[in-house]
């Protein structure tokens, strides 16, 4: 075995010191950069996600209103009288259940009753329309209760 020179000892010590330093972990600067990137990504995605939730609820509200209004018309023309409430639509089989208002998360729809007759053959007035019970404003600036 040949003797190790002073120069080789220094290179071995530097190599050992470098490898132990690399295994210590991340520097504070690296952690700050990563956290900043995550914060920027969250700042971009959270508003997009919340807008998509509102948009989905508005689409569900329009679909539920369409379903209930069609059921009111069908009931009125079939029975020759308007329903007195949404329970009449469910019990007669025009809807399977009263849907929850997507804005209030409860089946608390605002019903519109009137003496107005929807067809010439209709004998009794009653429920003619339905609206959301929410007082909130939609993304297009109109109140959900006016839809």
Mean pLDDT along residues 107-124: 80
pLDDT digits (tens, 9 = 90+) for 69-85: 999 999 988 988 889 99
Domain range list for the chain:
35-146
Exposed, middle or buried by CB within 10 Å (0-12, 13-18, 19+), for 21? exposed
Backbone CA torsion sign across 118, 96, 87, 105: negative
Write the pLDDT tens digit of every residue in 15-35: 776 655 556 688 999 999 999
Only one residue has tokens 């297009």, namely: 140
The model's confidence at residue 55, banded by pLDDT at 50, 70 and 90, is: very high
**Cβ-contact 66, 72 below 8 angstroms:** no
**This prediction's pTM:** 0.72
């Amino acid at each position: 075995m040949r003797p190790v020179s002073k120069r080789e000892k220094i290179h071995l010590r530097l190599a050992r010191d470098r490898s132990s330093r690399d295994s210590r972990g991340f520097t504070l600067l690296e952690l700050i950069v990563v956290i900043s990137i995550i914060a920027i990504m969250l700042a971009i995605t959270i508003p997009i996600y919340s807008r998509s939730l509102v948009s989905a609820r508005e689409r569900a509200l329009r679909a539920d209103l369409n379903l209930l209004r069609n059921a009111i018309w069908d009931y009125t023309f079939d029975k020759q009288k308007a329903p007195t409430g949404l329970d009449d639509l469910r019990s007669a089989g025009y809807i399977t259940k009263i849907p929850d208002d997507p804005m209030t998360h409860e089946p608390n729809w605002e019903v519109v009753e009137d003496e107005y007759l929807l067809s010439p053959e209709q004998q009794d007035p009653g429920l003619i329309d339905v609206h959301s019970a929410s007082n909130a404003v939609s993304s297009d600036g109109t109140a959900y209760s006016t839809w």
